[in-house]
Structure 1
Amino acid sequence: MTTSRAFRPAAILAALLILFVGLAVRTWTGGAFAKYAGVALYASLIYALVIATAPRLLPWRAAAIALAFCWAIEFGQLTTIPASLAKQSKLARLVLGTTFNIPDLFWYAVGIAPLAYVDRMLRARASKRS
């Protein structure tokens, strides 16, 4: 197994853990903390899914893809499509959101940066060993 492929199981496990924490934050907390922690965790989840899908991506590229995806979802909220889908499906509401919020653009980066950093450090350590 190549070094980069070894990151796929870890990324899948991280995605599941992030999903659990995100749902727990949403369930057991409220207010601004729940809002912005949820946004950051959503972005962390997207980063983990990008790495799980394409484990050979360099961390900065995976971060750029995850951030672009999150920003596209956020800017999509300027249309009526996410809000109308959210009325039909709770899953659509969780994935697409409903209301554009400028601070979310920052919080997406906050959620991605730590994972990209840890990913970079783990890859550097793995390449030193091989």
Structure 2
Amino acid sequence: MSLPVRWIRLLTVLLAVVFAAAAYTIRAVLDGPIEQYSGAALSGAIVYTIVIFIRPRISPLIAGPVSVAYCWLIEFAQLTPVPAALSGHSWFARQLVGAQFDLVDVAWYPVGVIALFAVHWYLRARTRTRPQPDVR
């Protein structure tokens, strides 16, 4: 049995809120590499939930690469002056596009996506392989 689209969307919103809360909590409590790496991984996870929100029936084989590609696009855009200029004017813009390129983030976005990809893959496989009733 698969979930109705409205429940999938509700779950993705809840997950995104949980991931954002985790990222901000880690940022407030910790400092150093764990803060940075977890922030990038959780950002990748949030993007994955947004992709699922937009297309609830999307395959993980598409959702995963789209999520990572989007994260990388935003990160590499930080090599231009545009994100830094936007971030200088708005806290919200800084959260969305960042301000400074970091090659380490490029490696950590997929970490957050892979975990959700695996769960998504498992749930889809589980709902597609329902046992058939015995008709003898």
Q: What TM-score, normalized to structure 1?
A: 0.91
Q: Is the Cα contact below 8 Å between 2:2 and 2:127 reproduced in 1?
A: no
Name the residue aligned to 1:38. 39
Amino acid at match of 2:125: A
Which structure 2 residues correspond to residues 1-130 of structure 1 after superposition, within 5 A?
A: 3=3, 5=5, 6-129=7-130
- Determine helix, strand or coil for the equivalent of 1:129: coil
CA contact under 8 A between 2:44 and 2:113: conserved in structure 1? yes
Distance 2:9 2:2 in 1: 11
Q: Could you list the per-position Cα deviations for residues 60-96 of structure 1 after superposition, in whole angstroms to 9, with x for gaps in the alignment?
A: 2011111111000001000001111111111111111
AA aligned opposite 1:124: A
Task: Please provide the CA RMSD for this pair.
Answer: 1.7
- Deviations, residues 42-69 of structure 1 (Å, cap 9, x unaligned): 0100001110110111012011111111
Displacement of 1:24 in angstroms is 1.1
CA distance in 2 between counterparts of 1:22 and 1:2 reads: 30
| 3-state SS, counterpart of residue 79 of structure 1 | coil
In structure 2, do the counterparts of structure 1 residues 7 and 129 end up closer, same or farther at CA, with 3 Å as the change threshold? Answer: farther
SS in 2 for 1:50: helix
For this pair of structures, how many residues does the alignment match? 130
8 Å contact from structure 2 (residues 27, 35) kept in 1:
yes
Q: Return closer, same or farther for 1:8/1:127 CA change in 2, 3 Å cut-off.
A: farther
- Segments of 5+ residues of structure 2 without an aligned counterpart are 132-136
The amino acid of 1:47's aligned partner reads Y
Give the structure with higher Rg (CA).
2
Shift of 1:3: 4.4
Structure 1: distance between partners of 2:75 and 2:4: 30
Q: Percent identity?
A: 35
Q: How many angstroms apart in 1 are the aligned matches of 2:89 and 2:130?
A: 50
Equivalents in 2 of 1:2, 1:33: separation in Å?
Answer: 36
User: Which letter does structure 2 place at the counterpart of 1:30?
Assistant: D
Of 94-103 and 111-120, deviating more is: 94-103
